[in-house]
Amino acid sequence: MRIVVDRNKCTGLGICESLAPDHFEVNDEGALVVLRDSVSEDELDAVQQAVEGCPTEALRLEN
Amino acid sequence: MTVHAEAHSFDPAPVATLEFWGRTAEERETTFKELRDERPVSWHPPLEGNLLPLEKDGIWIVVRHADVVSVSKDWETFSSAQGVTMEEMPEDMAAAASSFLGMDPPRHTRLRRLVSSAFTPKQVKKIDDQINNQARRIVDDLLDVGDCDFVAQVSKRLPMWTIFEMLGVPQELREEGYRAADGMVAYLDEDAAAGQDALTFQMNALMTLLNIGVELAEERRARPTSDLMTNLVQAEVDGERLTDEEIGAFFVLLSVAGNDTTRNTTSLTMKALCDFPDQRKLLLEDYDGRITTAIEEFVRWATPVQTFRRTVTRDTELNGQKLHGGDWVVTVFASANRDERVFDDPHAFNILRSPNPHVAFGGGGPHYCLGNMLAKTQLRHLFKELLFRVKDIEVGAPTYLTSHFIRGVRAMPCTFTR
């Protein structure tokens, strides 16, 4: 699975970072950085929570 | 004037009266429940007591969770660019008071980012100790003072302290800033306005905050530091520096949004923890393990921002009602957070509630609360201090602010064992 970010929707809130800090980080300019876009089986739960928890629906997972 | 093809008759629920917004939230909830069950998207006359007469023949009131969420997310159909409160206010006043809250993408996105970089998880973590110390000092002072007004002695203090610290407001301007930030939401309340008409009262509060913001901006241009105001005066949007008006509006928005929200959630949560002693016991049994889940329930319970307004940009339909371009739509977060379609036993304060898809930080979309993580950090530290250090703390009956926007507690007595 891979993480895809819709940059038009992302506002850099960082809720994803608080749920899956290994994959997401909001940098000092307030922009979201995807640290690793591939998601392994055991990381899927946290990343899925981050995707579902995004209030602006800026994240999705692709095969 | 919006002209409707079909003649609407007004809904009998008295949602557009000042008297309604002077009742308690529990009393209003009876009306919202009826609307949720029978008329989820309803048509009402413009709110009486407008700051300006409203050039509309009515407003839509949206009360179900699902509809509040879909309106919040669909910013292209439901615009914020023509104001976000259920009252008309002069255009320059609206712009000065709401900054990027009253904008749509893409301009909203560019301006918001200038501030949002100060509210990221890493930035909030950096000031975690500072907030913890502030919470401790507030409770130190409470313990010194003894029985008192909880709002003045506790709830009021932390939010503005944190925000003014972030912005770098000098001590000598803070007291004036606190009072003006209060005035921004208290203008409909007769006691608070103390004889002034609503427009004059709010305009005075607004001008005070704008002046503090602009004065601080000038100071930081001359002597930059590492605070948020320094970032703002140095920032560029589309190759241009922000104007004094834009910086002033940022300052007003942060002062208002950072003040009433956490403050009223603090008061209403303290009351809930007294009204539901079993929940307080549950929390005390495992504070660190339960507080994260509990805070979601604190904010659902309080819902400090009761409503936002959007303006329809094109003809559309919402839950069976035909809306027209130009129509005003009011999303009632207070009602959505008690929607029995989403929450089991919505009138129970349940600190273990999970999932808890409340809309107290907004229904999603680009305007979702920027300060949500900051607010959670404040509540976590403050309640830890209050519940573990203040023996047998209990609060009495609150008095409430009359407002269709903020659910405000003006005062609430507290007692404890010394």
Domain count, chain B: 1
Residue B10 lies inside a defined structural domain of this protein = no
Residue B184 lies inside a defined structural domain of this protein = yes
Q: Which of B106, B93, B84, B118 is nearest to B248 (CA)?
A: B93
Residue B7 lies inside a defined structural domain of this protein = no
**Quick check: B160 and B178 in contact, CB under 8 A?**
yes
pLDDT above 90 covers a percentage of chain A that reads 89
For A5, other C-beta atoms within 10 Å of its C-beta total: 17
pLDDT at position B5 is 44
Indicate if the pLDDT at residue A8 is higher than 70. Answer: yes
- CB contact (8 A) between residue A56 and residue B365: yes
Residue B60 lies inside a defined structural domain of this protein = yes
Instruction: Give the whole-angstrom CA distance, residue A60 versus residue B40.
Output: 31
State both tokens at B357.
Answer: 């898809």
| Contact status of B122 with chain A (Cβ, < 8 Å) | yes
Residue B3 lies inside a defined structural domain of this protein = no
Residue B68 lies inside a defined structural domain of this protein = yes
Residue B365 lies inside a defined structural domain of this protein = yes
- CB contact (8 A) between residue A26 and residue B105: no
| Straight-line distance from the first to the last Cα atom of chain A, in angstroms, rounded to the nearest whole number | 5
Distance of residue B58 Cα from the nearest chain A Cα, in angstroms: 30
pLDDT at position B1 is 44
| Contact status of B368 with chain A (Cβ, < 8 Å) | yes
pLDDT at position B96 is 83
Question: Measured between beta carbons, which residues in chain A are less than 8 angstroms from residue B373?
Answer: 14-15, 18
Residue B194 lies inside a defined structural domain of this protein = yes
Question: Measured between beta carbons, which residues in chain A are less than 8 angstroms from residue B114?
Answer: 30
For B317, other C-beta atoms within 10 Å of its C-beta total: 9
Specify the DSSP class assigned to residue B310. E
| Contact status of B354 with chain A (Cβ, < 8 Å) | no
Minimal Cβ distance to A17: which of B116, B121, B362: B121
Indicate if the pLDDT at residue A38 is higher than 80. Answer: yes
Q: Assess whether the previous peptide bond of A21 is cis (omega < 30° from 0).
A: no
pLDDT at position B4 is 52
Specify the DSSP class assigned to residue A25. E
pLDDT at position B263 is 96
**Cβ contacts of A30 within 8 Å, gap of 6 or more:** A12, B113, B114, B116, B117, B120
Which CATH number covers residue B396?
Answer: 1.10.630.10
Domains along chain A with CATH numbers: 2-62 (3.30.70.20)
Q: Which residues form the domain of B111?
A: 18-415
**Quick check: B363 and B350 in contact, CB under 8 A?**
no
Q: Assess whether the previous peptide bond of B40 is cis (omega < 30° from 0).
A: no
Q: Which of B289, B261, B228, B273 is nearest to B375 (CA)?
A: B261
pLDDT < 70 regions, chain B: 1-7, 49-51
